[in-house]
Structure 1
Amino acid sequence: MKKILVILLSIFVLGQSSAALAASPPREKLNLKAHPSYQIDAKYDSKENMLKGHLKVKFKNRYKKNLKEVRFNVWSNAKEYQDQGGSVTITNMKSNHEPVNFKLENSVLQVFTRPQALNKVVEIEFSFNITVPENNDRYGRTDKIVKLGNALPVLAVYDSEGWNTDPFYEYGDSFFAEASEYNVSFLTEKSMKVVSSGSETNYYYKNEYTLHTFKAKQARDFSLVLSKDFLKQTLPLKNHVINVYYLPEQQSQLNLIKQTTRDSFELFEKTFGKYPWKEFDVALTDGWFGGMEFSQFVMVSLYDGLSEEDLKFNVAHEIAHQWFYAIVGSNQHDEPWLDEALASYAALLYKNDTNNLTAGPVEDPYYKLTSTVTDFMNKGDEGINNYYYMTYIYGTTALYDLRLLVGDKPFYQTLKQYIRENQYKIATTQEFIKLFERKNKLDLSEYMNEHRITPESN
């Protein structure tokens, strides 16, 4: 979520309602029936501003006969980050223990394997050096914080379109991955505090370094935030551990953030279903982008001029993404409304602002609720503004109208069923609509036309 969204939402809501790496511990055998499994050994070198290490991923070829190519998304090598001084180097590429050719071009890594039979377990491994650029974004570094959001290479999703390696854009999200298992060892300076996807399982001191070990189950990503200055407070919840990491200068906003985190988390569990992981973390960062979701943690950026109401919305919105991104996956590039509108609606639900949502679509019929990120970005600044308006603001109106159509209780019951049926899977707009039709015995064709919902175009 970006700062421009916060401005638009403020207008909308106010208008409506007021080393070499140390040897890592033994690895568990991982389930390859449904989920890819990653083993990552990495180190962050703050002198070189570099993330370096080795990645191995195993997955079952459920995709096609004689699979000859595997693709990864390497968003940290997007041209936008290269222009800021970032870079990614890949070496020592192997497939099933044999050296193979590969090609890295911007954010797409192609690995050329020997033909892989259907249902065969494929193992890809390689070493990486990632130079982290200096910037104030969800991926980048400043003098106090290193944000490694979606920095690590991740296996692309394979579906009817083939390998999904859609372009990276500074505005909007193209992050899309299968729920996967991660075992990670991560070496840092001893003074560095680490927030990550999953949970820390252990740590070991080695001279001036700390070796952290992490495990993440059914995670869409493995991302991290690092700072020597982080402080931590833990919130008292019955069934979960929620940690809030913050910088000393952010202390004045801490109570509001803690209250919003606890209350919205509890509301979303009650409304959408149980949060399936034990731990959840909130990392307060610098940056202009408002917030960003990851598996089992979120970044919330605090910038000058951020009001209390906008801050509460941002925190609740990012926490809602734990249900509408982490638990239920979707193609954030092809169907950005499907997670963003739901997360925005959930944030308005927390703020008790879900009545009388009347924002209409933009006038130009080119823009649909189900337009892709590329569709929007192809129109320059106008498209960027309309991306945020259609996806986040008009999207909440579309959900409000759907609630009026089916009724309050059936609406929330169906949402809960949507999450339950798609837990750790990848959902689509078509499946979302069909569930509402089936569950509530409705034909939503007219509703779809009225709200520019055309899932067949994606």
Structure 2
Amino acid sequence: MKMLFRLIALGLLGVFALIAFSLSAPEAAFSAQPTLQPTETAAPLTTPTSVPTPPLLDLPEVDWEDVGAHKKAMKPAFADDVDRFVDANRYFIVARLSFEPDAVFRAAQRVRFTNRTGEALDLLVFRLYANTPALGGRMNVHHVEVNGVKVEPSLSNLRSVMGVPLPVPLQDGESVELRMDFTLVMTRGLNTSYGRFGYVNDVVSATAWYPTLSVYEPGIGWWTDLPSPQGDPSYTEIGLYEVQLTLPAEMVVAMSGVIVETRRNADGTITYRDVTGPMRDHAFQASKRYMVTETRADGTRIVMLHYRDQADSPTDGTKVAMQYAVQALQIFNATFGEYPYAELVVAQNPTPSGVEFPGIIQIAERAWVQGNRFLEVVIAHEIGHQWFYALVGNNQVALPWIDESLTSYTEFVYFRAAYADPKVGEDYVDSFQQRYTNYLARGLPDLPLDLPVRSYVGISYGAIVYTKGPLFFVELEHVIGREMVYAAIAEYFRRHKYGIAATEDVQRAFEDVSKRDLSALFNQWVRGTQPRA
């Protein structure tokens, strides 16, 4: 585990090389060395619990036209955004979580898919991300229906791709309803993909915990790539979610969206009804160790989900974490455009770094300490992802730079605005330039930004995507001015909020706002098709 932290600190592991960033954070802002809490010892992995095929769950019918409940997950000014997504991917999930001693989900979902591809489809593809090596869980879908007719799905790519045949081709504009019953096992001690998925130290971290519709790309087809463990594992479209999750009463839970109903059951469990606005994924965090502290900023309820057993420690970081979260939300609202959701959860977690989900961010438990400079960096970064990944999506496996490089640049935006002394922001940017210079001085490859995760080997993922990437936007500042860069990012956000963007969309927003041809810069830094001066 010590080597894992050292590797992350050096940027060798990718998804989030920010511990390295924190080690050179500006002294004007941070005077003390980072103080990390002792690493908790995870329970050793055990043989996964064998889960016999359960009977089909009682799954209520869904009125897909009624989206009123989903508006509760939005700030009032954005409630009507939900109406645009009546025909988006829709999920209604009923799940029960028990501990045997592994975390075991017995669940079923209804999914409505509306064909917006412009082509007739005879197959729908779902991703069982839990079965990928990146996540290491075990998901089994044991019953599938299409419009009430039982069908036999196909499995491929290590059981991470599930093809569902349609009895009748689905024409463009038509909708179909599917039912799926499934189980999921998270082995006790499992903590994978930088902590985004697993059950460790009595904390359940659940993302991609349900069969998820893949993305259909016109002219290409369904996305079926196996993600690299080095990067983020998923590629999804915006949808609306309703989740009814039952778990032991002693567990405290926070989910994407808002919990609108709570029901205590006679068997010692609680069922939470959760709804989302338009979101790219559904995730939750649950633990008997958690407690909740909350505040409000710019009309959003900020929920700090933190460990009860550490709350009385004089070094507990909850108070400063809340301060950083409020500052980041306000700065990014003012710079890029308003965060539309009613809630934002900041969760202390066994992750070694930080991970983003729609409406939730995980923050390393070892950094949850007053005076730890990494805590501020990681909170700013992960909240930045609410704009770039959660609201403006992209293929994180094929084009990680679009969300990660831009989100790393939001750290610059944060430190420039959060501190009155301009040297704080300048020193922070300079620390990136120094690391990038040191990387090149070692003779390592100066790769383009728009490569898939698997093309970056060793330290190149952190050095290119997380260090060169944000410096590209600084180079744009030198050419068109900082205010113009901020305005272009805001326009990019406005155009592609709730959508999926590609490299060309980033370039187009900058060129339209600046009224400049920026092809040379994008070709030099992003595509690598022209040498840099």
Distance 1:62 1:238 in 2: 35
Structure with larger Rg: 2
Q: Answer whether contact 1:36 1:179 (CA < 8 A) is retained.
A: yes
Distance 2:135 2:8 in 1: 22
Q: Answer whether contact 2:237 2:393 (CA < 8 A) is retained.
A: yes
Question: Match of 1:345?
Answer: 409
Among 209, 212, 216, the alignment partner of 1:158 is 216
Question: Match of 1:89?
Answer: 140
Among 197, 200, 212, the alignment partner of 2:272 is 212
Q: Show the 5 A alignment for 1:290-369.
A: 290-303=353-366, 308-352=372-416, 353=425, 355-356=429-430, 358=433, 359=436, 362=440, 367-369=447-449
Helix, strand or coil for the counterpart of 2:450? coil
Distance 1:37 1:205 in 2: 27
Q: Answer whether contact 1:313 1:348 (CA < 8 A) is retained.
A: no
Q: Show the 5 A alignment for 1:423-442.
A: 423-442=497-516
The answer to whether 1:176 aligns with 2:256 is no
Question: Match of 1:103?
Answer: 154
Distance 1:73 1:55 in 2: 14
Distance 1:285 1:210 in 2: 22
Amino acid at match of 1:59: F
Alpha carbons of structure 1 residues 27 and 197: separation in structure 2 relative to 1, 3 Å: farther
Distance 1:255 1:287 in 2: 20
Amino acid at match of 1:90: V
> How much has 1:292 moved relative to structure 2?
1.0
- Structure 1 gaps of 5+ residues are 377-382
> How much has 1:121 moved relative to structure 2?
0.4
Q: Deviations over 1:219-239 (max 9, x none)?
A: 110111110110110023251
Q: Answer whether contact 2:449 2:464 (CA < 8 A) is retained.
A: yes
Amino acid at match of 2:317: Q
Q: Answer whether contact 2:144 2:150 (CA < 8 A) is retained.
A: yes
> How much has 1:294 moved relative to structure 2?
0.8
The answer to whether 1:35 aligns with 2:88 is yes
Helix, strand or coil for the counterpart of 1:327? coil
Question: Match of 1:400?
Answer: 474
Question: Match of 2:179?
Answer: 125
> How much has 1:389 moved relative to structure 2?
1.4
Alpha carbons of structure 1 residues 304 and 77: separation in structure 2 relative to 1, 3 Å: same
Distance 2:321 2:254 in 1: 17
Helix, strand or coil for the counterpart of 1:68? strand
Farther off after superposition, 195-204 or 236-245: 236-245
Q: Answer whether contact 1:152 1:223 (CA < 8 A) is retained.
A: no
Q: Deviations over 1:246-284 (max 9, x none)?
A: 013443121221111111111111111111111111111
Question: Match of 2:79?
Answer: none
> How much has 1:442 moved relative to structure 2?
1.1
Q: Answer whether contact 2:201 2:350 (CA < 8 A) is retained.
A: no
Q: Answer whether contact 2:95 2:105 (CA < 8 A) is retained.
A: yes
> How much has 1:35 moved relative to structure 2?
1.4
User: Percent identity between the aligned chains?
Assistant: 25
Q: Answer whether contact 1:132 1:140 (CA < 8 A) is retained.
A: yes
Distance 1:113 1:351 in 2: 51
> How much has 1:15 moved relative to structure 2?
5.3
Distance 1:46 1:38 in 2: 25
Q: Answer whether contact 1:24 1:185 (CA < 8 A) is retained.
A: no
Question: Match of 1:283?
Answer: 347
Amino acid at match of 1:197: S
Amino acid at match of 1:61: N
Q: Deviations over 1:157-197 (max 9, x none)?
A: 11133111221332211321111001111111111111111
> How much has 1:16 moved relative to structure 2?
7.8
TM-score of the two chains, using structure 2 as the length reference? 0.78
Among 262, 283, 286, the alignment partner of 1:203 is 262
Q: Answer whether contact 2:348 2:368 (CA < 8 A) is retained.
A: no
Amino acid at match of 1:324: F
Distance 1:62 1:17 in 2: 48
Q: Deviations over 1:69-111 (max 9, x none)?
A: 11111111113544xxx31111221112211121233321111
Q: Deviations over 1:295-324 (max 9, x none)?
A: 111111223798812221111111111111
Alpha carbons of structure 1 residues 286 and 10: separation in structure 2 relative to 1, 3 Å: closer
Farther off after superposition, 238-247 or 303-312: 303-312
Helix, strand or coil for the counterpart of 1:51? strand
> How much has 1:385 moved relative to structure 2?
1.7
Alpha carbons of structure 1 residues 435 and 108: separation in structure 2 relative to 1, 3 Å: same
> How much has 1:25 moved relative to structure 2?
9.7
Amino acid at match of 2:146: S
TM-score of the two chains, using structure 1 as the length reference? 0.90
Amino acid at match of 2:496: N
Q: Deviations over 1:12-66 (max 9, x none)?
A: 5655844986876975635665511111111111225211111111121122533
Q: Answer whether contact 1:166 1:174 (CA < 8 A) is retained.
A: no
> How much has 1:450 moved relative to structure 2?
2.3
Distance 1:345 1:245 in 2: 26
Q: Deviations over 1:423-447 (max 9, x none)?
A: 1011111111011112211111221
Alpha carbons of structure 1 residues 187 and 23: separation in structure 2 relative to 1, 3 Å: farther
Among 291, 296, 300, the alignment partner of 1:236 is 296
Q: Answer whether contact 2:25 2:373 (CA < 8 A) is retained.
A: no
Helix, strand or coil for the counterpart of 2:317? helix
Alpha carbons of structure 1 residues 386 and 126: separation in structure 2 relative to 1, 3 Å: same
